[in-house]
Amino acid sequence: MEDLVSLIFAQFLSGLTRSMVLFLVASGLSLIFGVLSVLNFAHGTLYMLGAFVCFQFWNALMNVGVGFWISVILAAIVIGLLGFIIEITLIRRTYTGLQLGHTQQLLLTYALTLIAMDVVRLVWGGRFYSIPRPDIFSGSVSALGVQFPSYQLFVIFFGFIIYFGLWLLLFRTKLGCIIRAAVFSRDMVAALGIPIKWIYTLVFIIGAFLAGLAGGIAAPLGTISVGMDHSILIECFAVVIIGGVGNVTGTLLGALIVGLVHAFGILVLPQLTIAFIFLILAIVLIVRPSGLLGVEV
């Protein structure tokens, strides 16, 4: 019985770790889709680039005591700047064509994904890379008979910190009020004299920054490789739809559901793990199409 409890507890913590990585990526995706109405298929690619850029900085700063943390911050900033460039040069040109649907955005962001994959292969090759866990979190913590890596506990804690930071930004600042208003009526925001295009740009930068941050934070959890963006993007879209587009609390809830279902799905029927996630997604779409915490408009 004790072994079963330990196993369930270990899977629960693993699921929470995956949930927090999903939340970091999906929160930016949810904001971008909720405010800009942009289906950003390149969002997972920003996550992948964040991991590779973090590795590059870490490779240069590995002898520095806090080199990893500096690398994570620099990678997030670089990806945020890349998001700025992408939005003002490419994404911004698709806003006027929204009456045609999201076809332009899908083609554009998918093309960016293909381009980024070739750039990554050109710069880093097709090899697998890894970053060791920082020294301060190189050990493990014992609880209920489980030795759990302390870095994964940090990731869980960090994910909740980012959630509270985003919540404060969206619900306790003037900028947050504008962003939330833009989710419901961008025309009303523009009519108030607020430069809506620059609000779009800022939201896209925040989303890209979060994706890059997630890539850096997740780098020590596994390998860094071309294609690491595909699986997480699919799960992040499931997270956004389950939780509700543009809702940061809903995104956290969706990430917890997907992460824990993935963790326990592997334990029960590993072949059907993705199927379990999409089964829950289908149920949510049938019962509440706007998402668990989404607002019907």
What is the reported pLDDT for 1? Answer: 60
Q: What is the dihedral of CA 191, 192, 193, 194, to 10 degrees?
A: -110
| DSSP conformation letters of 114-131 | HHHHHHHHHHHTT--B--
Q: Which stretch of DSSP H or E encloses residue 265?
A: helix 248-268
Pick the more confident residue, 203 or 98. Answer: 203
Question: Do the Cβ atoms of 7 and 204 come closer than 8 Å?
Answer: no
CA distances from 276 to 4, 145, 241, 289, 292 (A): 22, 28, 15, 18, 17
Judged against a pLDDT cut of 80, whether residue 44 lies above it is answered with: yes
Return the CA Rg of the chain. 19
What is the reported pLDDT for 296? Answer: 62
pLDDT over 70 for what percent of the chain? 95
Give mean pLDDT, residues 31-52.
90
Q: Which stretch of DSSP H or E encloses residue 147?
A: strand 146-149
Judged against a pLDDT cut of 90, whether residue 159 lies above it is answered with: yes
Most confident range, picked from 3-7, 50-54, 185-189: 50-54
Q: What angle do CA 212, 217, 221 make, to 5 degrees?
A: 125
What is the reported pLDDT for 260? Answer: 94
What average pLDDT does the chain have? 88
Judged against a pLDDT cut of 70, whether residue 98 lies above it is answered with: no
Closest CA to 143 of 13, 256, 15: 13
Q: What is the pLDDT of residues 235-262, one digit of tens each?
A: 999 999 999 888 899 999 999 999 999 9
